[in-house]
């Protein structure tokens, strides 16, 4: 079965990356220009020399340095530490290790280190910026609910992520967003009221919001690519479709975990993206005002969120869509 991406998926990923790169360059240039203006203004106050171009270069270097610091902090704690996953050897999980080794050899990849976390929730994800230091993390809940063929397909999906270097791509895509959000929060709580600082703070949040949608779109495309790669690796799209259907029913709708763990769980093969359900709006004696108006408005907002807003923020395509694509792939190749 062909590992390569279909033309539509390739085009969508390329356009998303281009839009994100253009947005990042525009935002970084704006921040560097504001920093340069501020440095030039301060230099004038203290009688220091220097042209605007010099301060622009210094502002750009400061922006780059801040981005590197944010990236370092983001990589300081990975999924292994967050989920308290333990490295396991072939003597502990012989079947798991044998499957991972066989799939890695078939994909022409170094065998990743295998870590297991004692969680009831099914989890499967990879971490690491290069193929040589990749860690594969699975939960005991995943091992319990899947049969051998389904587990092989899920592991193949994760190895397809490694083959496509998705961890590197998504980390680099997330970097400017993390920088923008950190900058916006810093300026928001700095107590400054200068119009330039307010403008940068607002631009940071706007960039983060738009970039968040672009990164989510990129992530959805790469999930579809990993599904296709897994099908090529095991030669059976039906096994992955069956696994997705099984796992989708085991994902909790409102996870009770810290933010870091919930964020990493969104990188799993079936993410926690259903969120907390909208609270049911009922009549309360203390809030009778405009009840006949509030109830239909709330219903419309909920439907709009479910149909339009939530899918655009999701890091994974809908499970039904992924299963339909896998079934089409199965029919296409007659497996």
Annotated catalytic residues are 158
Total Cβ atoms within 10 A of residue 35: 21
Residue with tokens 């790169």: 21
> What residues contact residue 207 under an 8 Å CB cut-off, 6+ apart?
23, 27, 176, 177, 180
For residue 33 the two structure tokens come to: 């220009």
Contact 27, 203 (CB under 8 A): yes
Alpha carbon distance 48, 78 (integer Å): 44
For residue 233 the two structure tokens come to: 């690796």
For residue 279 the two structure tokens come to: 């609270």
Residue with tokens 């594969």: 136
Distances 33 to 51, 60, 119 between C-alpha atoms, Å: 13, 8, 48
Backbone angles phi, psi at 290, to 5 degrees: 55, 35
Pairing of strands 124-127, 86-87: unpaired
Distances 259 to 82, 154, 255, 265 between C-alpha atoms, Å: 11, 25, 10, 10
For residue 80 the two structure tokens come to: 């292994």
SS3 151: helix
């Amino acid at each position: 079965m062909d590992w390569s991406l279909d033309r539509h998926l390739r085009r969508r990923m390329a356009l998303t990356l281009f839009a994100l790169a253009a947005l990042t360059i525009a935002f970084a240039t704006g921040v560097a220009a504001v920093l340069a203006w501020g440095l030039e203004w301060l230099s004038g106050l203290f009688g220091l020399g220097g042209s605007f171009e010099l301060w622009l270069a210094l502002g750009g270097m400061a922006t780059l340095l801040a981005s590197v610091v944010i990236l370092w902090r983001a990589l300081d704690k990975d999924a292994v530490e967050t989920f308290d996953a333990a490295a396991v050897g072939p003597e502990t999980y012989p079947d798991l290790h044998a499957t991972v080794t066989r799939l890695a050899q078939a994909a022409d990849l170094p065998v990743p280190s295998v870590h297991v976390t004692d969680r009831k929730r099914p989890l499967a994800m990879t971490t690491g910026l290069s193929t040589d230091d990749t860690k594969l993390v699975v939960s005991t809940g995943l091992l319990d609910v899947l049969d051998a063929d389904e587990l092989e397909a899920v592991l193949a999906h994760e190895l397809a992520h490694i083959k496509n270097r998705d961890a590197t791509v998504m980390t680099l895509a997330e970097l400017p967003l993390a920088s923008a959000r950190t900058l916006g929060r810093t300026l928001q709580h700095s107590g400054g009221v200068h119009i330039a600082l307010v403008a940068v703070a607002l631009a940071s949040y706007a960039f983060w919001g738009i970039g968040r949608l672009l990164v989510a779109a990129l992530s959805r495309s790469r999930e579809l690519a990993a599904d296709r790669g897994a099908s090529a690796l095991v030669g059976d799209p039906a096994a992955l479709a069956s696994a997705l259907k099984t796992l989708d029913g085991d994902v909790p709708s409102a996870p009770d975990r810290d933010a870091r763990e919930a964020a990493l769980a969104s990188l799993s093969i079936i993410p926690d993206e259903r969120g907390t359900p909208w609270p049911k709006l009922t009549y309360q004696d203390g809030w009778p005002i405009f009840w006949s108006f509030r109830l239909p408005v709330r219903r419309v907002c909920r439907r709009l969120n479910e149909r339009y807003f939530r899918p655009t923020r999701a890091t994974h395509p809908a499970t039904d869509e992924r299963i339909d694509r896998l079934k089409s792939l199965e029919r296409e190749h007659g497996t």
